[in-house]
């Protein structure tokens, strides 16, 4: 949803060359994946990193307008009610709630503010002289990086987290490392591989 929203916004605002460059990069990665020359996780990592092409040359204010639109029009209206109810239950119980995603961090922070989350841990996109360069500040928030950066974020911000009693929610097998860092992993509308793992490990599963 997020990347599609950014593509739509960029196209509407006259940046068709940037959209073409992004799709060209994604097409190459998809072809490598289909040929089994690249893993799905590496494809996701590169696809997120290439989102920087859509932001290249934008000022912070221009990007802020895009992120505001994406969150308001694309993300919040499509949020699943039962998942949002879970989040609000955790907040009501005084739990620290972190959103962890590959999406650009400023966009994720907006989602976090809208739903009342404690913090947001997304992918940082590089700035120089007040404009986006088209690159990222590593790491891309995919796979094991989510686990590592969540630990680091908690430490840096002074959260004393009891991980064995904590919860993590994810929908992809590539989030396995993050799910395994807590005592209560939950597969949310999972892909087939994660669903299989969840049943094997007797994890909780949220579906329709």
Cα–Cα dist 102/123, whole Å: 5
Residues forming beta bridges with residue 100, ordered by sequence position: 121
Cα–Cα dist 60/155, whole Å: 28
Label residue 75 by pLDDT band (50, 70, 90). Answer: very high
Both tokens assigned to 207: 């579906």
* Per-residue pLDDT tens digits for 173-182: 999 999 999 9
**Stretch 30-49: mean pLDDT:** 82
pLDDT of res. 190: 97
pLDDT of res. 130: 95
pLDDT of res. 102: 94
pLDDT of res. 23: 83
**Stretch 51-76: mean pLDDT:** 94
Judged by average pLDDT, the poorest of 19-28, 53-62, 80-89, 186-195 is: 19-28
- DSSP-derived letter for residue 49 is H
Which one, of 159, 85, 152, lies nearest residue 115 by Cα?
85
Label residue 27 by pLDDT band (50, 70, 90). Answer: confident
pLDDT at 151 > cutoff 90 = yes
Long-range contacts of 155-160 (CB under 8 A, 24+ apart): 157/119, 159/96
pLDDT at 33 > cutoff 80 = no
Tokens 């919040």 appear where? 76
Q: In the CATH hierarchy, which top-level class contains the domain 2-161?
A: alpha beta
Cα–Cα dist 204/169, whole Å: 10
pLDDT at 158 > cutoff 90 = yes
pLDDT of res. 119: 97
Label residue 125 by pLDDT band (50, 70, 90). Answer: very high
CA 77 to chain centroid, in Å, comes to: 17
pLDDT of res. 64: 95
Both tokens assigned to 127: 């700035």
Both tokens assigned to 126: 């590089």
Judged by average pLDDT, the poorest of 34-38, 97-101, 188-192 is: 34-38
What's the pTM value of the predicted model, to 2 decimals?
0.90
Both tokens assigned to 183: 């005592």
Domain boundaries, the chain: 2-161
pLDDT of res. 25: 80
| Residue 139 CB neighbours (<10 A) | 17
């Amino acid at each position: 949803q997020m990347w599609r929203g950014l593509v739509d916004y960029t196209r509407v605002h006259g940046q068709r060359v940037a959209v073409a460059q992004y799709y060209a990069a994604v097409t190459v990665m998809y072809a490598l994946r289909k040929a089994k020359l690249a893993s799905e996780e590496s494809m996701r990592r590169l696809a997120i990193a290439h989102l920087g092409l859509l932001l290249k040359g934008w000022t912070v204010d221009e990007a802020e307008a895009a992120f505001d639109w994406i969150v308001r029009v694309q993300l919040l209206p499509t949020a699943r009610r039962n998942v949002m109810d879970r989040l609000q239950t955790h907040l009501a119980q005084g739990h620290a709630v972190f959103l962890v995603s590959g999406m650009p961090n400023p966009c994720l922070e907006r989602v976090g503010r809208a739903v009342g989350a404690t913090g947001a841990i997304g992918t940082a996109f590089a700035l120089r002289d007040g404009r986006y360069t088209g690159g990222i500040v590593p790491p891309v928030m995919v796979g094991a990086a989510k686990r590592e950066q969540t630990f680091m974020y908690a430490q840096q911000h002074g959260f004393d987290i009891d991980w064995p009693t904590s919860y993590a929610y994810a929908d992809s097998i590539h989030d396995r490392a993050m799910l395994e860092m807590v005592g209560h992993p939950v597969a949310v509308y999972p892909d087939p591989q994660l669903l299989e793992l969840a049943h094997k490990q007797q994890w909780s599963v949220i579906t329709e």
